[in-house]
Amino acid sequence: MAQFFRSGWRFMLAGIAAALILLGLAQALSNFFAAPSAPLVSIGGAFIDIIPPWVKDAAIALFGVYDKIALFATMFLVVLLLAAGLGLLAKKHRTAAQLAVAVLGLGASAVVISRAATTLFDAVPTLAGTLAGVLVLGWLTTWARAAADAPAEARATDGNDDAGAPAASTDRRRFMLGAAGSAVLGAALLIGGRAASGIRGGVDTIRKAIRLPAPATPAPALPDGVSSPVPGMPKFVTDNANFYRIDTALSVPRVDPSTWRLRVYGLVDQELDLSFDDLLAEDLVEADVTLTCVSNPVGGDLAGNARWLGLPVRRLLERAGVDPSADMVLSRSVDGFTAGTPIEALTDDRNSLIAVGMNGEPLPAEHGFPVRMVVPGLYGYVSATKWLSELKVTRYADDRAYWTDRGWSEKGPIKLASRVDVPRSFASVPAGEVMIGGTAWAQQRGISAVEVKLDDGPWQQADLAADGGIDLWRQWSFTWSDATPGRHAVTVRATDGDGNVQTSDRADPVPNGASGWHRIDFTVTED
């Protein structure tokens, strides 16, 4: 083993340095092309598209909103291991290793081209990176061989004089400089290129300059007291910066509103084609809606509440004239994501919006700038398409959406849910009066009651905060006035506006949303 590393480390280093050059150059060049032209962005995206739903779900459960960082880190590690392996191969078979890098690079280019947001042209960064990687691997391997051969010469000449020693150390130095230089340059290009992708593209500047029109129909004012009085509760209206984010986009699409179009087509009398300015010129409606992700586990926080501004989808569909045989609208994002929404949910009187505003500002890039869908009552995966580009009026029998092709249900009405927010799980609180607080939701039906159970005691009514409307979550509180020291548990269940009591039946998020009661353990300390 030691022998193996003594003779092989230079070659592994050569492989890794070549890989860093390949990835770094491609990443830096990708700033002049579509974002998925960076090979890891496209490969990661393709990977996300093919994994089974339970893997995606496990990743969200494990890493939460850091699932993308975890994916990048894993891919990077795999690349480094592969590169070290190819470096070792190059020790004996340099051309074969170079060929392998070229084949992998061509494969990566093919993945880049296959992505929805790319053209043939976007393969350029990966191809250029691959060429550089193949060359660097060749040079470093040659130098590594010279450096590896050198010590033997040096030792052989040790006896008489130092004739071979300077040559040996020159060989080693040349290799080390070359390898370290390539690795550092590659890493710098990678990090710099990635950082530049965040600040480039005047889209952020354009977004900041946008003045949204005042709503023709403002949202009804929220009643006083929608927030639970319990300290430490989440805010009733979620700040944009704290709003949960779930999507398949490894790099956030940067869509220029001046070239953005929305096409409405399919089973319609008349196709429509709108620009962003067309949209802003409409009579816009403002509505408070709580969004929820189907992947939210019992007690989870993949839900957020915001004030949206947009055009009712209903009005667009009326204008287009929907064929009576249609039962679904397939909304498409610029990055290829699709959602299938039942046509009733877009034509009845609920506030389904083609949204441009979120809490008084243009949509943040992460939440779909410039335009997204918001549909009260349905999980995001069947309704809330961000970076919206198309609405196809169609039928479930004829078209399938992104997640329905991956094991999730065709329809995704939001399930009645409730959770305990305070105290946090496994928190310690002082004895005496313990304030318990939480959130419940059943969009489109509203919440009519919340009950809590302390340990194995009876169900007791919680106090409901004021009702903002059926499409919003509702906060609740419960005061345990004589909390006794020791370990305790609290369980919560809600009743929706139709009188349905939340089921205790446990279900996983796959295929159509989690169910079951949320229960947390906490400790009451002495005094």
Where on the chain is the footprint of ligand MTE (CB under 6 A)?
Answer: 243-249, 291, 293, 304, 333, 335, 337, 367, 380-381, 384-387
Q: How far is the CB of 213 from ligand MTE (least distance, A)?
A: 22
- Degrees, nearest 5: CA angle 111-115-120: 75
Q: What do you get for the CA distance between the two ends of the chain, in Å?
A: 61
Q: How far is the CB of 358 from ligand MTE (least distance, A)?
A: 8
Segment interacting with Mo ion, rule: CB under 5 A, options 124-132, 358-366, 377-385, 479-487: 377-385
Give the residue nearest to ligand MTE (CB). Answer: 380
Q: How far is the CB of 291 from Mo ion (least distance, A)?
A: 9
293 lies in the binding site for Mo ion (CB under 5 A): yes
How far, in Å, CA of 58 to CA of 49, rounded? 15
Between residues 383 and 495, which has the closer beta carbon with respect to ligand MTE?
Answer: 383
**Residues pairing with 41 in the sheet:** none
Between residues 350 and 386, which has the closer beta carbon with respect to ligand MTE?
Answer: 386
Task: Kindly report the backbone phi and psi dihedral angles of residue 508, in degrees, each rounded to the nearest multiple of 5, phi listed first.
Answer: -75, 160
Q: How far is the CB of 122 from ligand MTE (least distance, A)?
A: 19
Task: Kindly report the backbone phi and psi dihedral angles of residue 142, in degrees, each rounded to the nearest multiple of 5, phi listed first.
Answer: -60, -45
Between residues 276 and 476, which has the closer beta carbon with respect to ligand MTE?
Answer: 276
Tokens representing residue 363 in the block: 């949509």
SS (H, E, C) 441-510: ECCCCCEEEEEEEECCCCEEECEECCCCCCCCCEEEEEEEEEECCEEEEEEEEEEECCCCECCCCCECCC
| DSSP E strand stretches across 224-326 | 261-266, 272-275, 285-292, 303-312
Between residues 56 and 145, which has the closer beta carbon with respect to Mo ion?
Answer: 56
Q: How far is the CB of 294 from ligand MTE (least distance, A)?
A: 6
11 contact choice in ligand MTE, Mo ion, none (CB below 5 to 8 Å, kind-dependent):
none
Between residues 293 and 391, which has the closer beta carbon with respect to Mo ion?
Answer: 293
Q: Which of 410, 463, 462, 469 is nearest to 441 (CA)?
A: 469
Q: How far is the CB of 389 from Mo ion (least distance, A)?
A: 19
Between residues 337 and 480, which has the closer beta carbon with respect to ligand MTE?
Answer: 337
436 contact choice in Mo ion, ligand MTE, none (CB below 5 to 8 Å, kind-dependent):
none
245 contact choice in Mo ion, ligand MTE, none (CB below 5 to 8 Å, kind-dependent):
ligand MTE
247 contact choice in Mo ion, ligand MTE, none (CB below 5 to 8 Å, kind-dependent):
ligand MTE
Binding mask 328-357 for Mo ion (x = CB under 5 A): ------------------------------
Burial (CB count <10 Å: 0-12, 13-18, 19+), residue 283: exposed
Helix axes 2-30, 67-92, angle to 10 degrees: 120
At residue 156, the 3 state secondary structure works out as helix
Binding mask 220-259 for Mo ion (x = CB under 5 A): --------------------------x-------------
How far, in Å, CA of 171 to CA of 153, rounded? 12
At residue 353, the 3 state secondary structure works out as strand
At residue 174, the 3 state secondary structure works out as helix
Between residues 139 and 243, which has the closer beta carbon with respect to ligand MTE?
Answer: 243
Task: Kindly report the backbone phi and psi dihedral angles of residue 376, in degrees, each rounded to the nearest multiple of 5, phi listed first.
Answer: -65, 140
380 lies in the binding site for Mo ion (CB under 5 A): yes
Q: How far is the CB of 382 from ligand MTE (least distance, A)?
A: 8
Q: How far is the CB of 295 from Mo ion (least distance, A)?
A: 5
CB 220 within 8 A of CB 469: yes
381 lies in the binding site for Mo ion (CB under 5 A): yes
Q: How far is the CB of 384 from ligand MTE (least distance, A)?
A: 4
Between residues 190 and 279, which has the closer beta carbon with respect to ligand MTE?
Answer: 279
Going by the DSSP 8-state scheme, the letter that residue 467 receives in this structure is: P
Which single residue is written with the structure tokens 């949960």? 244
How far, in Å, CA of 76 to CA of 74, rounded? 5
* Residue 377 zone, left/alpha/beta (φ > 0; ψ -120 to 50; rest): left
408 lies in the binding site for Mo ion (CB under 5 A): no
- Degrees, nearest 5: CA angle 29-35-39: 65
Between residues 244 and 478, which has the closer beta carbon with respect to ligand MTE?
Answer: 244
Between residues 125 and 380, which has the closer beta carbon with respect to ligand MTE?
Answer: 380
At residue 148, the 3 state secondary structure works out as helix
Q: How far is the CB of 247 from ligand MTE (least distance, A)?
A: 3
**Contacts with Mo ion, residue ranges (CB under 5 A):** 246, 293, 380-381
